[in-house]
Structure 1
Amino acid sequence: MKIYTLHKKQNLPITVEEAWEFLSKPQNLKTITPDYMSFDILSGADKPMFPGQIIQYIVTPILGIKTKWVTEITHVKDKEYFVDEQRFGPYALWHHKHFIKKIKGGVEMEDIIDYKVPMGLLGQLTHPFLVKPKLEEIFEYRQKKLIELFGEYHG
């Protein structure tokens, strides 16, 4: 069983409060997700984030195939971090930690995702040319979109 990790950091010229206000609202995920993924929240995003919250989405990650994705917010520490875990969806495992930390002139946002692709060896064979590049592309889009929304960090 191979578990992969994607680790991303981004600095933004905003306060911890501004970062938390944006990131802790599940509906803002649509804003920072590429349009081609047709990201749509079906339910669960109508309240401020809390442990135990179940959020259901429809996404189109590859080849135009619509996929239902259900995540649970498992941990929340106000203005510091939250964790979402896939309960149903395209991955065999998805555990996503979001950290926010005050730095000189802004905040550092850190994402650590531990994930496992489905379909055993076949899934592992597709990881380097299908899954990993797609995740990299999504997070690159996110970084650009966050800069567009909040400005470039010049710490």
Structure 2
Amino acid sequence: MKIYRLHTKQNLPISIEEAWSFLSNPTNLKKITPDYMGFNILSGNEKLMYPGQIIQYIVTPVMGIPTKWVTEITHVEDKKYFVDEQRFGPYSLWHHKHFLNEIPGGVEMEDIIDYKIPMGIIGQMVHPIIVKPKLNEIFEYRRKKLIELFGEYKN
């Protein structure tokens, strides 16, 4: 069983309060997801983030095939971190930790995602060709979109 990890960090010139307000609102995920992903929240975004919250999405990550994705927000510590875990969707495992840290002149956002691809050895063969590049592309889009929304961090 191969478990992969994606680890990203990004600094933004905003307060921890502004960062938390934006990132802890599930509706904002659509704003930082590429349009081609066909991201659409079906339910669960009626309230700000809380432990036990179930959020249902439709995404079209590969070849325009709609996929239902259900995540649970399992842990939340106000203005510090939250964790979302896939309950149903394209991965065998998806555990995404979002951390916020105050830094001089802004905030550091850190994402740590541990994930497993289904289909055993076939999934492992597809990972470096399709899955890893697609995840990197999505997070690079997010990085650029957050700069567009909040400005570039300069220290």
TM-score calculated relative to the size of structure 1: 1.00
| Structure 1 gaps, min length 5 | none
Q: Could you say what secondary structure the match of 2:69 adopts?
A: strand
Shift of 1:108: 0.2
Counterpart AA for 2:10: Q
- Taking every aligned residue pair, what percent have the same amino acid on both sides? 77
Aligned to 1:136: 136
Shift of 1:8: 0.2
List aligned pairs for 1:1-150, cutoff 5 A. 1-150=1-150
Distance in 2, matches of 1:20 and 1:55, equals 18
Distance in 2, matches of 1:73 and 1:46, equals 14
Shift of 1:63: 0.7
Calculate the aligned-residue CA RMSD, in Å: 0.3
Q: Could you say what secondary structure the match of 1:31 adopts?
A: helix
Provide Cα deviations, 1:29-60, integer angstroms capped at 9, x if missing partner. Answer: 00000000010000001001000000000000
Distance in 2, matches of 1:62 and 1:13, equals 34
Q: Could you say what secondary structure the match of 2:7 adopts?
A: strand
Q: Could you say what secondary structure the match of 1:133 adopts?
A: helix
Q: Could you say what secondary structure the match of 2:41 adopts?
A: strand
Counterpart AA for 1:101: N
Distance in 2, matches of 1:11 and 1:2, equals 30
Distance in 1, matches of 2:27 and 2:61, equals 18
| Structure 2 gaps, min length 5 | none
Distance in 1, matches of 2:50 and 2:107, equals 22
Shift of 1:91: 0.2
Counterpart AA for 2:74: T
Provide Cα deviations, 1:100-143, integer angstroms capped at 9, x if missing partner. Answer: 00001100000000000010100000000100000000000000
Q: Could you say what secondary structure the match of 2:27 adopts?
A: helix
